[in-house]
Amino acid sequence: MTEPALRAVGLHRRFAHPSGDVEVLRGLELQVHAGELTTVAGRSGSGKSALLALLGGFDSPDSGAVYLDGVPISEAPPWHTCAVLPQALGLANELTVAENVALPLRLRPTGEDIGARVRELLGALGIGELAERYPTEVSFGQQQRVALARAVSARPKVLLTDEPTAHLDGASIGPVLRLLRGCAAEGAAVIAATHDDRVHEIADRRVRLLDGVLTAALD
Ligand SMILES: Nc1ncnc2c1ncn2[C@@H]1O[C@H](COP(=O)(O)OP(=O)(O)OP(=O)(O)O)[C@@H](O)[C@H]1O
């Protein structure tokens, strides 16, 4: 068996709070292989976002470790190979839609034409006509697609998405699902934390976060 693109071993994460500590992850294990799309279900507050923050290296576990291609991310932060679509989106409001999507490619060029890649992604997501607007000039559902285009533009090896369809209507979801599947088809390890059955339906593997560990999702 090949080394998983992403491996989490024994992850523990507790948040201290005056109103009472929250033990969110309790020895969580996860393996995701290149080319695989895994969805993470779980009730609100179960720890899906906390898990993605650890997998992306934006937070550190109290114990346990995350490995990217076998290398602990604590030793080699995965900024060049791992991309995140956070729930809060985090678009740069001073940049246009196109400039936001181009940003990862300017920071880590892939050798391909940046303008062409940006047009390809915005077109695939049905928001090509918004390229020159600023994030504050488009709807939240459109912002979500811009943030997804930005996450995938530099072809990350690992793509972590938090509720990638949360603000989309029925017509907008199809292109997003196709893009997530397309990233996996290109060899990325893709993880989507979601409440949306339409995302679970296109997954290679579905897991559920329950009581701080992952279990096989009940289909
Ligand atoms: N910085 C923090 N300090 C204290 N508690 C926190 C912190 N961050 C998250 N939590 C708590 O940890 C738990 C998990 O939160 P998390 O955002 O990961 O849940 P989630 O599964 O992503 O929820 P949702 O589906 O609503 O997005 C929640 O009980 C939350 O209140």
How far from the centroid of its chain's Cα atoms is residue 57's Cα? 12
Report how far residue 157's alpha carbon sits from residue 141's, in angstroms, rounded to the nearest whole number.
25
Q: What is the mean pLDDT of the chain?
A: 94
Do 74 and 172 share a domain, yes or no?
Answer: yes
Ligand 1, residue 42: give the atom nearest the CA. Answer: 21
For the stretch 135-178, pLDDT in tens is 999 999 999 999 999 999 999 999 999 999 998 988 899 999 99
Residues above pLDDT 90, as percent of the chain: 87
| Domain of 188, in residue numbers | 1-81+156-219
In a domain, 118, yes or no: yes
Do 140 and 41 share a domain, yes or no?
Answer: no
What's at 49, amino acid-wise? S
Report how far residue 194's alpha carbon sits from residue 132's, in angstroms, rounded to the nearest whole number.
30
Residue nearest to atom 2 of ligand 1 (CA): 15
Q: Is any ligand 1 atom within 6 A of the Cβ of residue 50?
A: yes
In a domain, 186, yes or no: yes
Q: Is the ipTM of this complex over 0.85?
A: yes
Taking the CA atoms of 55, 4, 160 and 154 in sequence, report the sign of the dihedral they define: positive
In a domain, 86, yes or no: no
Do 12 and 61 share a domain, yes or no?
Answer: yes
Do 99 and 192 share a domain, yes or no?
Answer: no
Do 63 and 76 share a domain, yes or no?
Answer: yes
Instruction: Kindly report the number of other CB atoms within 10 A of residue 153's CB atom.
Output: 25
Do 170 and 123 share a domain, yes or no?
Answer: no
Q: In what order do the strands lie in the sheet with 63-68?
A: 22-32, 6-15, 63-68, 71-72
* pLDDT band, residue 3 (cuts 50/70/90): confident
**107 within 8 A of 151, measured Cβ to Cβ:** no
Instruction: Kindly report the number of other CB atoms within 10 A of residue 76's CB atom.
Output: 14
In a domain, 114, yes or no: yes
Do 30 and 44 share a domain, yes or no?
Answer: yes
CATH code at position 194: 3.40.50.300
**Domain count along the chain:** 2
Q: Which two tokens stand for residue 144?
A: 């979500």
Do 2 and 63 share a domain, yes or no?
Answer: yes
Residue nearest to atom 14 of ligand 1 (CA): 47
In a domain, 5, yes or no: yes
Last residue of a domain, one of 153, 181, 199: 153
> Residue 200: which of 183, 215, 217 has the closest Cα?
217
Last residue of a domain, one of 153, 176, 203: 153
Report how far residue 188's alpha carbon sits from residue 34's, in angstroms, rounded to the nearest whole number.
5
With 0-12 / 13-18 / 19 or more C-beta atoms within 10 angstroms meaning exposed / middle / buried, residue 129 is exposed
Taking the CA atoms of 53, 55, 58 and 63 in sequence, report the sign of the dihedral they define: positive
Do 30 and 125 share a domain, yes or no?
Answer: no
At which residue do the structure tokens 């992604």 appear? 121
Q: In angstroms, what is the span from residue 47 Cα to ligand 1's centroid?
A: 5
Report how far residue 5's alpha carbon sits from residue 204's, in angstroms, rounded to the nearest whole number.
15
For the stretch 94-135, pLDDT in tens is 999 999 999 999 998 889 999 999 999 999 999 999 999 999
Ligand 1, residue 163: give the atom nearest the CA. Answer: 27
How far from the centroid of its chain's Cα atoms is residue 70's Cα? 20
Do 160 and 148 share a domain, yes or no?
Answer: no
In a domain, 126, yes or no: yes
Do 144 and 166 share a domain, yes or no?
Answer: no
Report how far residue 57's alpha carbon sits from residue 76's, in angstroms, rounded to the nearest whole number.
10
191 pLDDT above the threshold of 90: yes
pLDDT at residue 1, rounded to an integer: 62
Q: Which two tokens stand for residue 157?
A: 């090896």
Q: Parallel, antiparallel, or unpaired for β 22-32 and 71-72?
A: unpaired
80 pLDDT above the threshold of 80: no
Do 111 and 205 share a domain, yes or no?
Answer: no
Q: Is any ligand 1 atom within 6 A of the Cβ of residue 194?
A: no
pLDDT at residue 55, rounded to an integer: 96
